[in-house]
Chain A
Amino acid sequence: MTTIPDEHDLHAYVDGRLEGEALATVEAWLARNPQRAGEIEAWRRDAQALRATFAGATPPPDAPWLDPARLRRELARRQRRWLGLAASVVVALGLGMFTGWSLHDRAATDALAREPMADAVQAHRMFALHAGLRADIDAAPGASLQSWLATSIDPAIRMPDLSAAGYTPSGGRLLATEQGPAALVVYRNAQGDAISFYVRPVGPSRAPLADGERHDPGLLTHYWSAAGYNHAMVGNLHGDGARIVRDLADRRV
């Protein structure tokens, strides 16, 4: 009896994937169909030649940059950088939403919205109060954050020294603002409470700020202008943050 093998069986025969009865059936059929057998045999030879060619090919030169572990690290690095950028955008968006909302609810918040240095408050909320966001630079012993400020913003800027109050610099973060690059330095005490020092250019069209204070829920901010830059210190009302910010303001005067 004659079973005509289907396409699947013929390919499986070429690829050596048939055995037992199925193999015998195809072989028997090919023996009775010499023309088709010749074609199938040629397919088989081509496949062999293809394998031989690949087997004999010179292997490509080493490519260490294709190592999966290395690619994984590189991907993680790119993602962190992207998250950093996204966080800066969030600060900008947050400010925009804040302003929009104030305009809407004018009676309650108009005065607050017009008070300057809302960006300092936002930055403090984002980076000092949410510990999850990575700093651009972590404090190392000595003056490294001071020199980071000098090179990233301006050598004239001096970080306040809060060590007498038990606060030491823990990290710094660069931010993009409408007025130019801004920097945030977060100080922490032994309990992890945060005080922020924020500095950014005054901006081309704006007059320097008079010294002042702004009050946001839970926060006290003191701000002033010096040498073309607006400065702000932001402390929390609970704990000693607000008192230290005020002390510092008194000493400046």
Chain B
Amino acid sequence: MTTSMPDPRSTRELDEALRALLPSLRRFARWLSRDGDAADDLVQATLERALVHWRQRRDGDALRPWLFSILYRQFLDGKRRSGRMASLLSRLAPEPEPAPSAERETIARSSLDALRHLTVEQRSLLLWVSVEGLSYREVADILQVPIGTVMSRLSRARDALRRITDGEMPAPMLRVLK
């Protein structure tokens, strides 16, 4: 499942490698933010950062997990910022209604909506390991924790997903299997 990619040597090779990873990045961004426009903004910010910094990344960092880690951090930073902004606004005015985006497509509308009860880290772990097939080592590098910690967090994430699909929450995912 893991695709190993030769390290790009030229800007043209890097562009091609990034282009190939674009669907994965957009999928991950939508999995995190659930709003199509915000997700693509996140992908754009990630790619821009990658274009500027890719020569400074640690030796041997594979491109794909490196991009996931940039996107993950950008998302967390954005959440922190908007959290501060929201608490500021709530002191000034009644809670603003989140504007419905014209493009809350795909994942948001799908059965996976119930999975928003997972934490950001749990959602990320499940996508990286189960869908994208990153190695546990790569996940440990992204989260900057020992591999044993990844294992125990992955257990908690899988248990949490289990509880959601197992009747504590509506069981939307079973439909998919039929």
Residues of A within 8 A of B (CB): 6-8, 11-12, 14-15, 39, 42-43, 45-54, 56-61, 63, 65-69, 71-72, 75
Contacts and interface: CB of A to CB of B under 8 A. Distances in A.
Contacts of A60: 26, 30, 36, 39-40, 105-106
Contacts of A42: 162, 166
B83 to A, nearest CB: 26
A110 B90 CA distance: 58
Contact of B48 (A8, A48, A63, A75): A75
B28 to A, nearest CB: 10
Q: In terms of DSSP, what is the predominant structure of the interface of chain A?
A: helix
Given A8-B151, A60-B30, A71-B51, A53 B158 contact: no
19 contacts: A6-B151, A11-B151, A11-B155, A14-B158, A45-B177, A46-B158, A51-B131, A52-B176, A57-B106, A59-B106, A61-B103, A63-B43, A66-B40, A68-B18, A68-B22, A68-B47, A71-B44, A72-B15, A72-B51
A52 B43 CA distance: 23
Contacts of A45: 177
A49 B165 contact: yes
A151 B53 CA distance: 40
Contacts of A6: 151
Contacts of A53: 110-112, 173, 176
B23 interface: yes
A231 to B, nearest CB: 42
B173 A50 contact: yes
Contacts of B56: none
Contacts of A8: 136, 147-148, 151
